[in-house]
Chains A and B, each alone.
Chain A
Amino acid sequence: QVQLVESGGGVVQPGGSLRLSCAASGLTFSYYGMHWVRQAPGKGLEWVAYIRSDGSNKDYADSLKGRITISRDNSKNTLYVQMNSLRAEDTAVYYCVTDLRYLFEYWGQGTLVTVSS
């Protein structure tokens, strides 16, 4: 079965950086576009970023553009997001999600990022 396992979350100070990873198994990773979606505590879902299956195209939410970079390594079946200049409002659970046809199909369980001094 499809498994997406996020890692790399934790507590980081305002202005700090963090790299999240998502290890995929049970699917042909290189066929899928991939997203990061986040959810602040008690709040709704927010789309963060997308990368095409071959990594040739990337899109970002305006609220994060310039501070994040999405990337992937298809040889390792792994998705990444590098987040810089983190703010308190970036505190959220970050999910990695597959996309084959403009939908969020398979979701990981998420990793919590807390930005606090």
Chain B
Amino acid sequence: QSALTQPASVSGSPGQSITISCTGTSSDVGGYNYVSWYQQHPGKAPKLMIYEVSNRPSGVSNRFSGSKSGDTASLTISGLLAEDEADYYCSSYTSSSTRVFGTGTKVTVL
């Protein structure tokens, strides 16, 4: 149950687009379309942003989008806003019927 690999940090200027990668294996990310993404502001509980690779829950801005290619999933934030500054985590269902999170990425808005 090794954590999925994410970059430790990603930054961008307001209005720009950034992409966060999430790399796993064929036993998790590559094997299932059950990849989801979470946003966490300091001191707060995580919030679901994307589920089943590319679906947005009601109320989540369409500036957030997800995709997957092979064993790597990606979260793209377009039109970056100051409020997007937070930690982001991916997660996947696994072949062991467990769940695994990514290592987390700190997004900084310059």
Contact = CB atoms under 8 A, between A and B. Distances in A.
Interface of A: 35, 37, 44-47, 50, 59-63, 95, 101-105, 107-110
Nearest to B96: A59
A45 B104 contact: yes
B103 A44 contact: yes
A45 B101 contact: yes
B69 interface: no
Contacts, number: 62
Contacts of B91: 45, 47, 103-104
B47 interface: yes
Given A62-B1, A107-B45, A44 B51 contact: no
B100 interface: yes
Interface in B26-71: 32, 34, 36, 38, 40, 45-48, 51-52, 57
Given A61-B1, A101-B51, A102-B93, A47 B99 contact: yes
Given A102-B93, A103-B34, A103-B52, A47 B45 contact: no
A103 B103 contact: no
A46 B52 contact: no
A110 B45 CA distance: 7
Contacts of B103: 44
Q: Nearest 3 CB-CB pairs, A to B? A: A102-B34, A107-B45, A44-B104
A107 B101 contact: no
